[in-house]
Amino acid sequence: MHVTTTAWIITVAVMAVVLIVDILIIGRRPHEPTMRECAIAISMFVGAAVLFGLGIWAVSGAEYAGQFYAGWITEYSLSIDNLFVFIIIMGALKVPRVYQQTALLVGIVLALIFRGVFIAVGAALINEFAWIFYIFGAFLIYTAIGQARHSDTESDGENAMVRTIRTRLPFSADFDGTRIFTKENGKRLATPMLLVIVALGTTDLLFALDSIPAIFGLTKEPYIVFTANVFALMGLRQLYFLIGGLLQRLVYLHYGLAIILAFIGVKLVLHAMHENTLPFINGGEHIEWAPEIGISTSLIVIGTTLIVTTVASLLRTRSIEKQVTPAE
């Protein structure tokens, strides 16, 4: 897939414009978005992603379009799982609903920056060292096992970085709008919003460690990796408000994500075997019997897994609700 410098510049410029407009709108009027506002925004972002994939199909062919859709769906699914952690952070740090949108937007900007760096590093490693797929694959399989063992234990929403900052800086007791610093009695203090941004930023960094190897298992094209991540993140803020309460119903989502990550991990290992050059494996020769899993198979596995786990989750929560509801 040949992507010109002009195409990269236009893509990044459009993304920047969308973010700037978002920042200006929220900065001028911080508020909790309505369900209608969220639904319209998500529909626009999803529609834009679908049209973008069709554009790739028209310009570069169905194979690359399939890679984009598979990557976008996978990243979107992982992003939905990330919302669980965002809800815990917002609740633990007692962020007023009216300011949560601003905090999420800052978190999304940080996520785009971190993922951009990881994409550049990942692409450079892949170009130089084909064996890196062994490491990516093993890491995803390890991550999948962790997802499958997912615990419902409550978290306090604070990581080591947040606790360190809390002990090193003086903080005000309350939020001062969306400011991260304020003055009280002539003394400059940090506000709890700083802790929220640090918590979201460090969480985004950890999430990128999972998501970038996962999408590189579906495509080796940096442009597709980048744009799939952008489209997955752009509607995340509205999705948080739209389905925040419904997330608790997706009780089997972590199992579905574990299956998807394990599948992509195995796909990466098989690809590494097929392209093997390590001297201590098969004498440095390619392992010809290792199959290459096509993008159509990947799309079927990812789509089927998400549909099955979503339906199973809703049926399970409905069954639990019926059991706890007293008979009339």
Let me know: does 197 contact 107? Beta carbons within 8 Å: yes
* pLDDT for the residue 27: 58
Of the spans 197-211, 239-253, 255-269, which averages the highest pLDDT?
Answer: 255-269
> Does residue 46 register a pLDDT over 50?
yes
Q: What is the pLDDT of residues 282-318, one digit of tens each?
A: 888 888 888 888 888 888 988 899 899 989 988 888 8
- Say if residue 81's pLDDT is above 80: no
Mean pLDDT of all residues in the chain? 82
Judged against a pLDDT cut of 80, whether residue 250 lies above it is answered with no
Whether the pLDDT of residue 327 is over 60: the answer is: no
pLDDT band at residue 326 under the 50/70/90 scheme:
low
318 to 152, 312, 325: CA distances (angstroms): 19, 10, 11
Query: How does pLDDT run across 155-198, given as a tens digit for each residue?
Result: 555 667 788 888 888 888 888 887 888 888 888 888 888 888 88
Three-class DSSP category at 315: helix
Please state the rounded mean pLDDT for residues 58-86. 86
Average pLDDT over every residue of 62-74: 91
pLDDT-derived band at 47, boundaries 50, 70, 90: very high
Closest C-alpha to 32, from 95, 106, 76, 110: 95
Residue 223's alpha-carbon distances to 64, 76, 228, 261, in angstroms, are 11, 17, 8, 21
Rounded to an integer, the average pLDDT of 95-120 is 82
**More confident of the two residues 325 and 11:** 11
The pLDDT value recorded for residue 153 is 45
The model scores a pTM over 0.85: no
- In the chain, what percentage of residues exceed pLDDT 90? 11
Confidence of residue 245 (pLDDT cuts 50, 70, 90): low
Lowest mean pLDDT among 117-126, 206-215, 249-258, 306-315: 206-215
d(CA 229, CA 212): 9
Given this model, what pLDDT does residue 154 score? 46
Average pLDDT over residues 50-69: 93
Confidence band (pLDDT; 50, 70, 90) for 28? low
The whole-number pLDDT of residue 187 equals 87
Helices (H), the chain: 5-28, 35-60, 62-92, 97-128, 132-148, 160-168, 192-216, 222-234, 236-243, 253-274, 295-324
